[in-house]
Amino acid sequence: MELDIKQLATALRLIAEEKNLPEDSVKEIIEHALAAAYKKDYGDREQEVKVDMNIDTGDVTVHVEKEVVEEVGDPNFEISVADAKKAKKDAKVGDFIEQFSKVETFGRVAAQTAKQVIMQRLREAEREVVMAEYEDQVEKIVNAVVSRVEPRLVRLEVGKAQAIMPASEQSRSERYFPGQRLKVFLKEIEKGFRGPQLIVSRGSAELVRQLFEAEVPEMENGAVEIKAIAREAGVRTKLAVASSVQGVDPVGTFVGGHGTRVNAIVNEIGDQEKIDIVVWDENPEVFIASALSPTKVAKVSVDTKENRAKVLVPEDQLSVAIGKGGQNVRLASKLTEIELDIESTGANADEQASDTAEVKEETKTEKTEEVKESKPKKLKRKSEIEKGFLDAIDAHGE
């Protein structure tokens, strides 16, 4: 198998179009490959070789750098003064000149080398294009199609690029299948051994934030904003929102008429995930009470030094405040960035009731003893008197 250079020059434009690469980049890649092939067939791997290809004619010119010497020892690296002067009239010993030659074909081994170099460099060029295309889309939402589902990750196609979604970035309530179309959050571009790798997420809190930005136009002009967000993907999300315009209800703005806006987000992230939207407040006590929604909070005491807060709730609200598996208090803590300790007001009430009952019991006992001591002795019954009489008669006879 020989390498037909003219055919390769013709195919250059097709390769550029198919790989979505600039023609100049493909030309440079092929020239590097032909330089490697030249070293295989005509020279030495340590030579300084440069190749120029004419795309229109298919002509290939090779430039080999050689040192001018009096006596040539290795023709691959050295050239005599007489031969050097043919290319450069004032050439002298110690100079470096470029010797030109035209090449039309290469042998089988050189052709295989050229093919390997071309394929490798094309892959590298494609990755660089991907890197350049998606570099400015990092931390933004992009459209993707699931291509393959594996035990620990999901592979997706993002345009012409490949992406992966690790298990840690997946939503707990979602099931993925090939061909599924998703909106994903482009978390980062990881530079690995095989080139750049897109890492995407469906579990990021930023996905929810940007979905709301697309759904709530009032966020663009700053009328309302998301102050904080905490999310457990597939289960629950809490948003703290605020308004900078007097009279604008931030919660109502995010919910939308008949819940249209929040429902659009739920439809995108999965209807098994609940979204709580609460009002942000500068006062941490008020904010904590809102963050624990739908819990009715009795009292909040904040320790700013320890960054902790003690929250008292009615006894019937304790399970609501904590949530299933501690989910509600955990998300509220993330949202407010304050460690929360939930306690029931019923616990104190029970202690007080118990203490009161003990005091009452003691008082009752004391009063009973006093009454017993103050009461006069009871008179003997009639039957007891008669029995005494009869016993006396029996004892004394007549």
For residues 229 and 206, what is the distance between their CA atoms, to the nearest angstrom? 8
The pLDDT of residue 360: 39
For the domain 213-277, what is the CATH code? 3.30.300.20
What tens digit of pLDDT does each residue of 347-393 get? 554 443 344 334 334 434 444 444 344 444 444 555 565 556 556 55
The pLDDT of residue 386: 57
295 residue type, one letter: T
The pLDDT of residue 391: 61
Question: What residues does each domain of the chain span?
Answer: 3-132, 138-201, 213-277, 281-373
213 residue type, one letter: E
Cα–Cα distances (Å) from 396 to 285, 333, 391, in that order, read 94, 97, 9
3-132 CATH pick, 3.40.50.1000, 3.30.1480.10, 3.40.50.2000, 3.30.750.24? 3.30.1480.10
Can you list the residues of the chain whose pLDDT is less than 50? 1, 349-379, 398
Q: Domain 281-373 falls in which CATH fold?
A: GMP Synthetase; Chain A, domain 3 (3.30.300)
The pLDDT of residue 361: 47
The pLDDT of residue 267: 93
For residues 41 and 258, what is the distance between their CA atoms, to the nearest angstrom? 76
The pLDDT of residue 373: 46
Tell me the whole-structure pTM to 2 decimals: 0.65
Closest CA relative to residue 288, chosen from 242, 255, 321: 321
Tracing tokens 């980049």 back to the chain, one arrives at 25
Q: For residue 142, report the phi and psi dihedrals to the nearest 5 degrees.
A: -130, 160
The pLDDT of residue 397: 52
Are 213-277 and 281-373 in the same CATH fold? yes
The pLDDT of residue 3: 57
Give 279's strand partners.
241
* The domain over range 138-201 is classified in CATH as 3.40.630.30: no
**End-to-end CA separation in angstroms for the chain:** 159
* Structure tokens belonging to residue 48: 């300084």
CA gyration radius, the chain: 44
